[in-house]
Chain A
Amino acid sequence: MFWRRLGYLMPWRRRAAEREIDEELRSLAAMAQPGELGSLAIAAENARSELGWTRLEQAGQDLRYAVRSARRSPIFTAAAVVSLAIGIGVNATLFSLINTLLWKSLPVRSPDTLLVLGRQDQAGLTHGFTYGNFETFRDRVASLDVAGYGAASLNVSVDGQLEPTLQGCLVTGNYFPLLGLAPAAGRLLGPDDDRVPSGHPVAVLSHDYWRRRFGGDASAVGRVIAISGQPFTIVGVAPRQFLGTEVGTAPHLFLPVMMQPVVTPMSVSLIERNPGVTSTWLHVLARTRADASIPRAQAQLDALSRAPETDWRLRDKFTGQVEDARLVLGPAATGLSSLRRQFSQPLFLLLGIATIVLLIACANVGNLVLARAAARRGEFVLRLALGAGRGRVIRQAFAESLVLALPAGVAALAFAYWSAVALVRYTAVGREAIVLDVSPGWRVVAFAAVVSIVAGLVLGCVPALRAARSDGAGGARLDLLRGRTVTQGGGPGQALVVVQMALSLVLLVGASLFARSLMKLSDHDPQVDRRRVLIVRIEPRGSGDRNAPGVAEQLDRTYRTLLAQIEAMPGVRSASLARSSPLGQTGFAYRMIRPGTGQTELLSASIVYPRYFATIGVPIVAGRDFNEDDLRPGSPKAVIVNEAFVRTVLGRAAPLGIGHGVQEGGRGAERAPMNIIGVVRDSRFPSLREAPSPIVYQSFVQARTGFGGMTLHVRLSDVSEASVGRIRAAVQAVQPDVPMFQLHTLAEEVDAALIRERLVATLSSVFGVVALVLICVGLYGLMAFSVARRTTEIGVRVALGATPSAIRGLMARQALRVLLIGLATGVPAAWIAGRLASTQLATLLFGLTPGDPVSFGLATALLAIVTLCAGILPVLGASRVDPIIALRHE
């Protein structure tokens, strides 16, 4: 019966059934005496209602009526829909980002059974392995099919034209088979592309790169491109949705892992089973074989973890000790991502803040709905008086608020997509692009739908309660024609504005806390304009194997020629090289032995060329910088240290020279006195948040390191396209067939390091502004409404001799009262919110506490100024009420 009735929801089924009823009744009427059957119209009507869905039809009527009444007041409708769309939209945006980053399954075959290998030790869980480790897993863990992949920057030429640096993904032979992907064109890589080192010059394009660079043309398959100067044949295109298995990045090309030595010639071969290769550059995905289970695979991994002879264990780079660690299997349905740890906490915090924005928007719309309900009270009473059921009138109120909330939800989805794309772009400043597919999936749509419906139901409660209370007796006091009632006091409208104020204050306090933290973190010496310091990593050929005979000297010659060439360029104030950029990790340590102890201690260290400190704006407070003499082979060893080194290591000893007795340790018994030639001021680098730690700087030729790549720093008097182009060309010239690393400014590097803080500060400020706008609208509406409501009262007062200023005072007192109650609730609310979120805040705030009085003061002042302005405009109008008109009004 249910299904048959459901069928009658279809208009054509319904019409057919109704035609049949009419036909049958006509045939019966022909048999009966005239009048014997009574009114056939009533019989037909009653029969039709048996077919129908009375409730549903009424709901349809309610909705149609709601749409009509929304159309009748377009300004109200627009204001309400836009407010709700913003409120729902900011939530949907953050939900969409969180969904993309944390919950979306990879577009691969049965993602739920995809696993990833990890390495659990005291420091935590990591996912990097050497190629040797991968081979061990492949050969010795019988229960698992494993596949490895690693990232590489690529130097690609198409038709002899050098492409901008592309991202490559080096994959083992069964990477694509394990993921179960089908090619969009040509074929994907397979086990036969993964046999001989340097022997498989083939490449698979990502769908996006294929479309952008080759116009999505199938003839791209079979073409030959040059990677690091060597020819590679394009054999296929990856499927469109597949952006690799690392969420947040999207490789342009997939290459066989065996081609690593060809693709990255500056680095040592990473695919040999060489105990000296400790670079953990591969991630390892796995699936259990058909006859195996996860517990069995885990047991085999545990056995491998305990086996002493296998080389999957990492030796500590400096101590040579084998670390205690365990191999673990984890789910990889959502892929891996380095962005998760960085962004999940701030995103959830921002989602919390967005919820406050939604509450403020709801309060705002609630206010509008209230004002409208008051204006339509006559209508409700009339409908009750005409016999509408109370339930029907309440349902009508809900229908009207849903008609506002549902379009708002749809608009919010569009808004969320657009703003998520904008936010991803915003966070990608000064670093490699973050590529996230933020197209809203079913989760985001469901989220927006649920939020809209809940918001609609909550909003519907307001007029529904009012409607339910209007009774016949109340109706007698109503002026049906004007639809106004005479009530006293602030009413629920005032309460809503107070709630809005309190919530806005919480938001504004949060925004000023984040903004002030960000300011403190990016605070720096105004002498050095960070936007005019250009940074780019360079890795000339041979820099992967600096210790080979003659390589260090050859690299040093290359570097010095490059520096001389760049310093001679117009607009260049100074140029230098350092092991890493100011905020980068050097991965390089200095072995120090204090006088009296035989213990080697490890300190952070860097390798710099002369004028490095001048280039990035770190003053030398004692002694001198490196000079040409220090760069000569065989010159006495010399180091520069920072103030933190002097403070924590030397104490009172005179820093310069070798008198302090600290020695440099080497492998074995080798030792040499540490000759300090200069002391530099502690800088905010490399960690912006932490207190400065001791750092030792050495010159390139004297440092002991196997890696010869450096990072170029150029301080310009002015950044122009031409100067950047000249520097880029000079860098490209010393490393013609390796990829050019991204050239960026020091300011961009700091921005990238502070991206979480910047994201939170910017978004919470934007949310704060939205809240202020909403509250202005809300308060203006409340004041205008109450001035209009009290027009008669004001007229009487004016007629009785009240001065305009007395009238203004009367109305301003109401605005002031709302503000004071709002602040009195908002300040404690903000304080409590700060306490509740203290753990989340701790990682984002810097140099201040959640109870920072300056932030509270700023937020309070801002809110007070804005609300007073919004509250005063309607009040000015009140003092101009003409008593005659006001009295005639009634």
Chain B
Amino acid sequence: MEPLYGVLDLLVLQTLLFGPLHGYAIASAIRSSSGEALNIEFGSLYPALKRLELRGWISAKWETSEHNRRARVYRLTPAGRRRLRAETTEWSDFVRAVGRVLKSPPEEVGS
């Protein structure tokens, strides 16, 4: 299942809420926290990281991991935190609205 357009940004921000991660860890975290339901193409995820970094919502810096591997580690900025709050609310509203439509009686449609 591919996430909706724009939701990817939300997922990345949410993932980084719990702490700084490098690109591969972000991809794995999204996959595992969605119960393997969301399989995001790395070809889409990586540009999203760049986009968020350019907008100043996440910041990145080269760090050396415990396995002595160099990796570029991303963390949430204060602006990213605010953005995440706003997007989360927006997303919940959206989900509620879609849910109401799906549960409404069908005879009102197409009259």
Residues on A facing B (Cβ under 8 Å): 1, 4-5, 20-21, 24-25, 27-28, 30-32, 36-40, 42-44, 46-47, 49-51
Contacts and interface: CB of A to CB of B under 8 A. Distances in A.
Interface stretch (B6-14, B47-55, B88-96, B102-110): B47-55
Nearest to A44: B46
B69 A47 contact: no
B50 A47 contact: yes
A9 to B, nearest CB: 14
Contacts of A4: 54
Interface in B1-54: 22-24, 27, 41-44, 46-47, 49-51, 54
Given A4-B54, A43-B47, A38 B42 contact: yes
A51 B53 CA distance: 10
Interface string B45-83: 011011100111000000000000111100000000000
A5 B47 contact: no
30 contacts: A1-B55, A4-B54, A20-B72, A24-B23, A24-B72, A25-B46, A27-B22, A27-B69, A27-B70, A27-B72, A28-B23, A28-B24, A30-B69, A31-B71, A36-B42, A37-B27, A38-B43, A39-B43, A42-B43, A43-B42, A43-B47, A44-B46, A46-B43, A46-B44, A46-B47, A47-B46, A47-B49, A47-B50, A50-B50, A51-B50
A47 B55 CA distance: 14
Interface of B: 22-24, 27, 41-44, 46-47, 49-51, 54-56, 69-72
Contacts of B24: 28, 31-32, 37
Given A31-B22, A38-B41, 20 more contacts: A1-B54, A1-B55, A1-B56, A24-B72, A27-B71, A27-B72, A28-B71, A31-B24, A32-B24, A37-B24, A37-B42, A38-B42, A39-B43, A43-B43, A46-B44, A46-B47, A47-B46, A47-B50, A49-B47, A50-B54
Contact of B47 (A20, A40, A47): A47
Contacts of A31: 22, 24, 69, 71
Contact of A43 (B46, B69, B72): B46
Which of B23, B43, B71 gathers most chain A CB within 10 Å?
B43
Give the dominant DSSP class at B's interface.
helix
A5 B56 CA distance: 12
Contacts of A37: 24, 27, 42
Given A1-B54, A4-B54, A46 B71 contact: no
Contacts of A36: 42
Question: What are the 9 closest A-B residue pairs judged by CB atoms, nearest first?
Answer: A46-B47, A37-B42, A43-B46, A50-B50, A42-B43, A47-B50, A43-B43, A24-B72, A47-B47
A4 B54 CA distance: 7
B104 to A, nearest CB: 39
A515 B40 CA distance: 81
A38 B23 CA distance: 14
A284 to B, nearest CB: 61
Which of B27, B49, B50, B51 gathers most chain A CB within 10 Å?
B50
Contacts of B22: 27-28, 31
Contacts of A50: 47, 50-51, 54
B15 to A, nearest CB: 15
A212 B33 CA distance: 86
A487 B22 CA distance: 64
Contact of A5 (B42, B46, B54, B72): B54
Contact of A46 (B23, B46, B69, B72): B46
A536 B71 CA distance: 92
B10 to A, nearest CB: 17
A324 B93 CA distance: 83
A30 B69 CA distance: 9
A1 B52 CA distance: 10
Nearest to A8: B54
A701 to B, nearest CB: 96
B46 to A, nearest CB: 4
Contacts of B46: 25, 43-44, 46-47
Nearest to B72: A24
A51 B71 CA distance: 20
A50 B44 CA distance: 11
Contacts of A21: 50
Nearest to A24: B72
A51 B22 CA distance: 20
A286 B54 CA distance: 57
Nearest to A5: B54
A694 B51 CA distance: 89
A24 B72 CA distance: 6
Contacts of B41: 38
Which of B24, B27, B56, B71 gathers most chain A CB within 10 Å?
B24
A5 B71 CA distance: 24
Contacts of B27: 37
B73 to A, nearest CB: 10
Nearest to A25: B46
Contacts of B54: 1, 4-5, 50-51
Nearest to B55: A1
Nearest to A42: B43
A722 B43 CA distance: 93
A63 B49 CA distance: 32
Which of A25, A40, A43, A44 gathers most chain B CB within 10 Å?
A43
Contacts of B55: 1
Nearest to B47: A46
B51 to A, nearest CB: 5
A32 B72 CA distance: 14
A42 B44 CA distance: 9
A728 B7 CA distance: 95
A189 to B, nearest CB: 61
Contacts of B56: 1
Contacts of B23: 24, 28
Contacts of B72: 20, 24, 27
A55 to B, nearest CB: 16
